[in-house]
Chain A
Amino acid sequence: MGMYTDKRKRTHTPEGYELLTHSSGDIQYDFGWHCGPYWSKFLGEMRDNKRFMAVKCPECGTVYVPPRQCCGKCFVDMNEWVEVGPEGSLEGFTVVRFPYIDPNNGQMKKVPYTAIWVTLDGSDTRYLHFCNEPDEMKLDVGMRLRAVWAEKRIGTVHDVEYFEVMK
């Protein structure tokens, strides 16, 4: 069956037909994701009150951002809400420079941008967001950060515009 031939560089079939690619065309494929009560409250509090609300595990005491119903480690319900942030510490960062398709909208992602993990004061997990500092040489793990709230808030993670380095 010719299974052991290295055919990687072929551009045509043995009969001379060009090897074809069939394009999907411009597919649009919409979803509606349900936030549930925990994330609806989390996003609603950011929109209406400019604050971060977390939940605390009654067993291990871990304070989770984002909040959720169940502690993965203890497998128990969490119902104690605590306010955390809006300041925190930079745990890790990257400055993304390569372009790729944003799966949220099908457009090319605008680069560079700085993605961060920030531990909001009073919480035990890291919150994913953006920093407005595009120069990696000006960022250092452990720096103090502060949330900058968007003027127009609609109940998404972008209700925080970005985190800025505190002077």
Chain B
Amino acid sequence: MGNRVGIIGVGQTHHAAKRLDASGVELIAEAVTRALDDAELTIDDIDAIVVGNMDHFENINYVDTWAVDGLGAFMKPVFKVTTGGTTGTTVGACGYYQAASGLFDIVLAVGWEKNSESDTQAAIATCANPILERDSFAGAIGPLATEYSMYMKAFGATEEDAAIVAARDRNNALNNPYAHSRQQVTVEDVMKSPMLSYPIKFLDMCPRSDGACAVIFANEKAARKLCPEPAWVHASVVRHDYTHFGDLEWKFMPTLERASAAAYKLAGITKPLEEFDVAELYLPASTCGVKWMDSLWFCEHGEAPDLIRKGTFEMDGQLPINPSGGVISTNPIGATALIRVAEGAWQIMGKSGDRQVEGASLALCTGFGGCSWSDVMILGADLP
């Protein structure tokens, strides 16, 4: 068991389809500076740095070397971590591991991406085996669309159920000044939006964004000294099972089931739907906001549509999901999962402004990488 660790500050950029006003390293500096200011620290207080993105999106390799200045990493230990869509939460997990190890007191974790610099779907498709699998599946959307075709058939879920999730997240983004896409939409608007890949429509799917996020992890002693209300890390779990796309069980999400079960055990959570106050989940498409609810142990397999239709996960529901607007409103891919952790931390720290869930003291944050693995981080106001 590692030492206790708390998040003491977070920062993120204003995210957009294209941030022509800032290069990659300038985006990173924007997020890092805001995180340091949030924690009331200077760069001299940072002992180690973890950074991540996916090199092939920009075709500029080794961000750990070329962004040293914007990262504040001059003459410091800096590591790059890249795990696909989960990069952000994995960067967060590594920041946590380093602080929890006792080897470093204060660790800065940074995720970023400039998706506008290339064709995102083409870049994502390179994750598929080029000999056997790359031709037939279209970046992130193809497998996500296909898994929902299976879930609909198995459990009677509908395209409208996904549209409810899309409208929820998109309308929540209106309360988030950092979000890339901020538009008021109805379930009907989602249903009428152009079909991208059956059954996923334009408004069901995440955009591609430019942006960066930074989160500062501190060991217990430093966190208590430096921060009045740290967001304590109660659990951080990573699970992978992919070999080939076709090996996976797609009617539910095994890595998310295993990762969340392990994280709940570490955090002593037995009734997640009742115990969590807020969740920031990596839902790359609204369809995942239906299907994956089963896999987070909120209900039995196939019961998610009932919870969705009852408004369980709306801002005024039992467990608000994605007050920030989530991934379908903002998606700078290497930062996307770290934004889940940052937003969860801000909820615990009471710094979420118009999107604050009153009195939030236990937050669930997830990361997703395709296909198809999961990271889970649980944050709380009380010491773990």
List residues of chain A with CB under 8 Å of any chain B CB: 1, 3-4, 6-8, 10-11, 19, 21, 24, 27, 31, 33, 35, 39, 43, 64-66, 68, 72, 91-98, 100-104, 109, 115-117, 125-130, 136, 140-142, 156-158
Inter-chain contact A136/B243, CB cutoff 8 Å: no
Closest CB-CB distance, A111 to chain B, in whole Å? 8
Closest CB-CB distance, B210 to chain A, in whole Å? 9
Q: Is B289 in the interface zone, CB < 8 Å from A?
A: no
Nearest residue (CB) in B for A40 is B131
Nearest residue (CB) in A for B19 is A8
From B20, B59, B133, B150, contact of A11 by CB (8 A): B20
Closest CB-CB distance, B227 to chain A, in whole Å? 20
Inter-chain contact A130/B138, CB cutoff 8 Å: no
Interface pairs (9), CB distance under 8 Å: A8-B14, A33-B130, A92-B250, A95-B198, A98-B197, A104-B135, A115-B137, A117-B245, A136-B199
A-B contact sample (17 more), CB < 8 A, given A94-B149, A128-B244 = A3-B33, A6-B14, A6-B177, A8-B21, A39-B132, A66-B132, A72-B243, A96-B196, A97-B198, A98-B121, A100-B138, A101-B122, A103-B123, A103-B125, A103-B134, A136-B199, A141-B149
Inter-chain contact B16/A8, CB cutoff 8 Å: yes
Chain B contact patch, size range: 35 or more
Q: Is B265 in the interface zone, CB < 8 Å from A?
A: no
- Cα separation A103 to B124 with both chains bound (whole Å): 9
Closest CB-CB distance, A138 to chain B, in whole Å? 12
Q: Quick one: CB contact mask for B281-325 with A, threshold 8 Å, 1 for yes?
A: 000000000000000000000000000000000000000000000
Q: Is B45 in the interface zone, CB < 8 Å from A?
A: no
Inter-chain contact B246/A128, CB cutoff 8 Å: yes
Residues of B within 8 A of A27 (CB): 59
From A64, A98, A103, contact of B247 by CB (8 A): A64
Inter-chain contact A129/B136, CB cutoff 8 Å: yes
Nearest residue (CB) in A for B178 is A6
Nearest residue (CB) in B for A157 is B132
Inter-chain contact A115/B146, CB cutoff 8 Å: yes
- Cα separation A96 to B30 with both chains bound (whole Å): 37
Residues of A within 8 A of B246 (CB): 65-66, 117, 125-128
Most B CB within 10 A of own CB, among A35, A97, A103: A103
How many Cβ-Cβ contacts under 8 Å join chain A to chain B? 144
- Cα separation A68 to B138 with both chains bound (whole Å): 24
Inter-chain contact B122/A102, CB cutoff 8 Å: yes
Inter-chain contact B244/A141, CB cutoff 8 Å: no
From A43, A93, A156, contact of B146 by CB (8 A): A93
- Cα separation A127 to B135 with both chains bound (whole Å): 13
For residues 171 through 197 of chain B, which have their beta carbon under 8 Å from a beta carbon of chain A? Answer: 177, 194-197
Closest CB-CB distance, A37 to chain B, in whole Å? 13
Residues of A within 8 A of B250 (CB): 91-92, 117, 126
Residues of B within 8 A of A96 (CB): 138, 141-142, 145, 196-197
Nearest residue (CB) in A for B128 is A128
- Cα separation A136 to B126 with both chains bound (whole Å): 26
- Cα separation A92 to B246 with both chains bound (whole Å): 10
Inter-chain contact A128/B136, CB cutoff 8 Å: yes
Q: Is B47 in the interface zone, CB < 8 Å from A?
A: no
Residues of A within 8 A of B194 (CB): 97
